[in-house]
Chains A and B, each alone.
Chain A
Amino acid sequence: MSWLEIEDLCKTYPGETIAVDSVSLSVEKGEFFTIVGPSNAGKSTLLKLIAGIERSDGGRICLANRDITRLQPRERKLSLLFQNIALFPNRTGFENISFPMKVAGVPEVEIERRVREIAATVKVGHLLNRVPRTFSGGEQQRVAIGRAIIHDSDLLMLDEPLTNLDARIRIALRLEFKKLHHDTGQTLLYVTHDQIEAMSMSDRIGVLKSGKFEQIGTPDEIYRRPKSEFVARFIGSPPMNILDCTIAEGIGGLKAYGDGFEASIIRGERIGVGRPSRIAVGIRPEEITASVECHEKTRTPGKVLWIERLGPFQILDVQLGAHILKVRTRSDHAVNREGPVWCGFEIRAEHILDRSTGLFLQPVADMNGGASIKREEARCV
């Protein structure tokens, strides 16, 4: 059994749609697991069910080999850090951090020792004798984290802890969370709507949509092999380009033919099963080659509509036929103005999308150990 084991957890609020729809999840001890999704996906409800702040309609939650489904919140041995940092304004950093231990009746000497230790971990030693209004946003958040981790807990849950902070502080705290996790070995359940936070910090990510996990996997799996169009567009900035097309045998293998483009499919014979009636291909903005000239690898003419310059890299809005693609290049790239451009790209076999289901076709294993299907099966009607 995993450290945190959730089975068929359900929650429906009266008069509303299902908030958490029979969710199952296993998180290992010491894992950094992130639940990511758009607003109203059910992220916070799921967290509240685990914390015991909300009652589930059904299902089971086990933590550290204990069934905690019916336990009171404070019997569950977990700590929760909310989006809005609620520090006691009239108490010092020390008093804020030590609060949970005071409530639990831990002896003063022990509290003193633990607070010093935690303050060193979250780097707030200089704030212990000061009150919160003199802290910066990042400092307030670090004190709140200190308070959340001071009590030994089996699970630390964080609900959008970086959401209201300046971009600068967010970037810095991302790494701080990673270090904290590395140094303490604490099992973390992190909730966010920000895919960058999810990708950059987590061991594994669960993408939540309408109360269900759309996909669970490592950041790499989620980014490279999204299961659905939803995941492909939610993870990655700018999102994956999705281009309607047909697929047929061409010169040198299978090809995707769409309005204004044609592209080879890498490892053409290894694409998924089924005969979808509407097909599209996905291509990440950084996988597209752009050039000022027509080359072997850039045979598709297009038009740059706008260049978004973002420092070390830039995003081109390129029109190909009826499609507008996002293309990511270095900022010192030769294509640096609006107007004609030549593009080229190849499609990964795992990025062929069945438009009717919104799911990418899954490669299947064959006798040779690879993934393969008959070519005619992939051909579009």
Chain B
Amino acid sequence: MTPRLELRGLTKRFGDREVVRGLNLALGAGEFLSLLGPSGCGKSTTLAMIAGFENPASGTVVVDGVDVTTIPPAKRRIGLVFQDYAVFSRLTVYDNLAFGLEVKRVSRQERRRRVDEIAAKLHLQSVLSRRGHSLNMSEMQRVALARALVTEPRLLLLDEPMSNLDAALRASLRSELKLIQKGLLQTVLYVTHDQIEAMSLSDRIAVMREGAIEQIGTPQDIYERPATRFVAEFIGDPPMNLLPCTLRRSGRNANAATAMHPVLSLGKTDAPEGSHTIGIRPQDLHLSHVPVIHGADTTVRFVENLGAEHVLHVDYGDGLIAAVTEPGFALPGDKVWLRIDTARAHLIRNDNDRVASREAA
């Protein structure tokens, strides 16, 4: 089947700096894909090229098999939702929704019909005569979505729509956005630096770094099987612990020695001997108040209370290591034994910054 959107070797330069570097990406119809990365990774520039606001230095943007790279933005049948939703505050909701159709010179009667139709789908009928400034955030999001959807776009682009809102509001807007997208089977490309949003909303995530896609996969893939050091560090809250280690082989099996765990059996791996990094998520560390086999004894320094769970920062070599526990498990100053679940540990190679492939011994 023809992908809804295809990017082929998309490249953008600002001066002699390459901000998007030969991007290849395909999006299926009805798919929700997020471009996730830190500021300056090229995700918004990519979005701008898809929308037609920026011209690529090379490469093509293909929608439903048609090359639209040189077609002006208004004719690409791509809908846009901007940061903070940008609903016109002085216009009524009806005029907000009709705006795009007016620009496209759709007849008055047809405008009425299509606005009513989308308003019904997004439960906006009761606010059609209200002005933008009087809406709550949930209504605001739906108006922004409806305004983009009323032109029946093949593809909807959202550029960090929630980035300036508080956490509680973001959580409720996420579930609302997902339900709308699923209900309409709308194809969405979502740009964000917030991994929670990307994890929660997407069918697939493309993690971007310095203008290129570092890894692409389902949220679970990205979380459980990061391919590179960058992805391992970027995904996860609190972030993955990175422990310097020395790798020794005996036959095909390998052991790693860290500051406090002299022998971590990693099974078979293709990584060479020498200095590498063990990546272990705070959720995959086991703490105990009594000595345990393979446990290193250490001291709790700081406790972050997150309500449903606590993050303990405990001494590890010269630094600290973070572990997620049940609330009330330990207090600063407590002695604990720390065990690393090696099945859940990632061996990150220092020679190429990739996660080494492993199989159990």
Contacts and interface: CB of A to CB of B under 8 A. Distances in A.
B306 A309 contact: no
Contacts of B281: 312
Contacts, number: 95
A220 B305 contact: yes
A223 B200 contact: no
Contact of A311 (B168, B235, B311): B235
A169 to B, nearest CB: 9
B199 A310 contact: yes
Interface in A289-329: 306, 308-312, 317, 328
Contact of B174 (A167, A175, A193, A308): A308
A122 to B, nearest CB: 17
User: Looking at chain B's contact residues, is the secondary structure mostly helix, strand, loop, or mixed?
Assistant: mixed
Interface residues of A, number: 42
B321 to A, nearest CB: 12
Contact of A194 (B167, B174, B175, B195): B167
Nearest to A233: B168
Interface in A235-284: 235-239, 284
A317 B182 CA distance: 15
A225 B1 CA distance: 56
A175 B234 contact: no
B166 interface: yes
A108 interface: no
B193 A234 contact: no
Interface string B168-204: 1001001100110000000000000111100110000
A167 B302 CA distance: 20
| Size bracket of the B interface | 35 or more
B291 interface: no
Contacts of A168: 38, 234, 239
Contacts of A331: 220
A199 B307 contact: yes
A310 B239 contact: no
Nearest to B193: A166
Given A238-B171, A317-B175, A309 B199 contact: yes
Shortest beta-carbon contacts, A-B, top 8: A200-B304, A312-B283, A219-B305, A286-B308, A311-B223, A308-B200, A236-B307, A223-B307
Given A219-B307, A312-B223, A312-B281, 5 more contacts: A223-B305, A234-B168, A237-B167, A312-B236, A312-B324
9 contacts: A167-B237, A168-B38, A194-B166, A196-B306, A199-B305, A223-B327, A236-B307, A237-B167, A312-B223
